[in-house]
Chain A
């Protein structure tokens, strides 16, 4: 996994793995705490939405605050022509969220766990 969190020339933050052609972008979330994302995987746009289901905050040995996140992916909108397996898709999304950390920064992020809701392909309204 060679993801980087970086700013685009127009100052948007992205999480990008150029070797594999994967880019994760955040989209406006609104007041409810469900975060919509757009995953670009070799040119295919895959919108999905996830929320922080659990958060643990703790101080490390230097006394700095760090956060462990458990994300729950609530919705994935698969584009036509998507041919990868569900397992592979979940793996890529999990890696991208892990690399993203929070708001495209891993600066204070510890462990990241990503789970998928049972109705992740049939839910409505998250995207």
Chain B
């Protein structure tokens, strides 16, 4: 395989920021005979916007973030919830609504990335480049999805909802999105709780000598996971059913009563879309009540 011409690379650079033009150009590369250098592809991806819009370019009311199994016991993935939230007409978006996300998912881009890695004899495959890989120290080197996710979090505003009851500390949400979300002054709330509360907790942890990485993990473990479960549980009875066991674990075992009390406020009725939404007016299913008194005894 031979590298595409300098003229092609100039055209590709000229198409930066345009999904359509980039897609058209990448489709012109002769499969099996030419390849686009790796860095040019990465630069092209980085030129795409990570700002999410609703269809017809409407400004979203809120931003959904997801990671990991929402309920591993029932094998329910976070997309079960993010998809429903996005479909329910509250003006919420996901990372799929960004231009960068739409490019990285395109066959034209993925195929060229694969050709570039093959042509250069890289020790990494497309999956490594997309999602990152673990180095010899057991740390995950970040992938292109981390770049897009960080940009998505940077551009978030207003209300943020996370579907992250079991997010892993090494995955995209904790490594790349949470650090941006808690310092993003355009974000008002995370799971209906004030963003400043998450930032304050992070600052306290840093002040007592906890490393950045550990502090983000603690913020996630102690505040984000619980508020995510509480918010989703308050959203609909179906979500309560699907999250039942996870929720009871988080509230009754992992957290003391002072922290559990915070989660009482993590409810959709405290968010922008609650006023006109009947879906949030749900009954608590028997056995799933938040037992603040009982939390003392576990």
| Residues of chain A whose beta carbon lies under 8 Å from any beta carbon of chain B | 7, 11-13, 26, 28-34, 52, 55, 57, 63-65, 67, 74-75, 102-105, 107-108, 117, 119, 122-126
Taking the complex as formed, is B81 at the interface, i.e. its CB lies under 8 A from any CB of chain A? yes
**A12 vs B242: C-alpha distance when bound (angstroms):** 36
Interface contact A11-B108, CB-CB below 8 Å: yes
Interface residues on B, range: 35 or more
Interface contact B95-A119, CB-CB below 8 Å: no
Choice from A31, A55, A63 contacting B127 with Cβ under 8 Å: A55
Residues on the B chain within 8 Å of A108, using CB? 118, 125
Interface contact B108-A126, CB-CB below 8 Å: no
Given contacts A31-B149, A65-B122, A103-B114, is CB(A125)–CB(B131) below 8 Å?
no
- Beyond A32-B67, A103-B126, 20 extra complex contacts between A and B, CB < 8 Å: A11-B108, A13-B111, A31-B95, A31-B131, A32-B77, A32-B78, A55-B127, A57-B123, A64-B121, A65-B122, A75-B77, A103-B111, A105-B114, A107-B114, A108-B125, A123-B76, A124-B74, A124-B80, A125-B70, A125-B77
**A38 vs B74: C-alpha distance when bound (angstroms):** 23
Given contacts A31-B145, A102-B127, is CB(A107)–CB(B77) below 8 Å?
no
Interface contact B107-A12, CB-CB below 8 Å: yes
- Cross-chain pairs A/B with CB under 8 angstroms, 25 sampled: A7-B111, A11-B27, A30-B79, A31-B172, A32-B78, A32-B79, A32-B172, A65-B122, A65-B123, A74-B77, A75-B77, A102-B114, A102-B127, A104-B111, A108-B118, A108-B125, A117-B75, A119-B74, A123-B75, A123-B76, A123-B77, A124-B80, A125-B70, A125-B81, A126-B79
Report the minimum CB–CB distance from A121 to chain B (whole Å): 10
**A26 vs B108: C-alpha distance when bound (angstroms):** 13
Choice from B76, B121, B127 contacting A124 with Cβ under 8 Å: B76
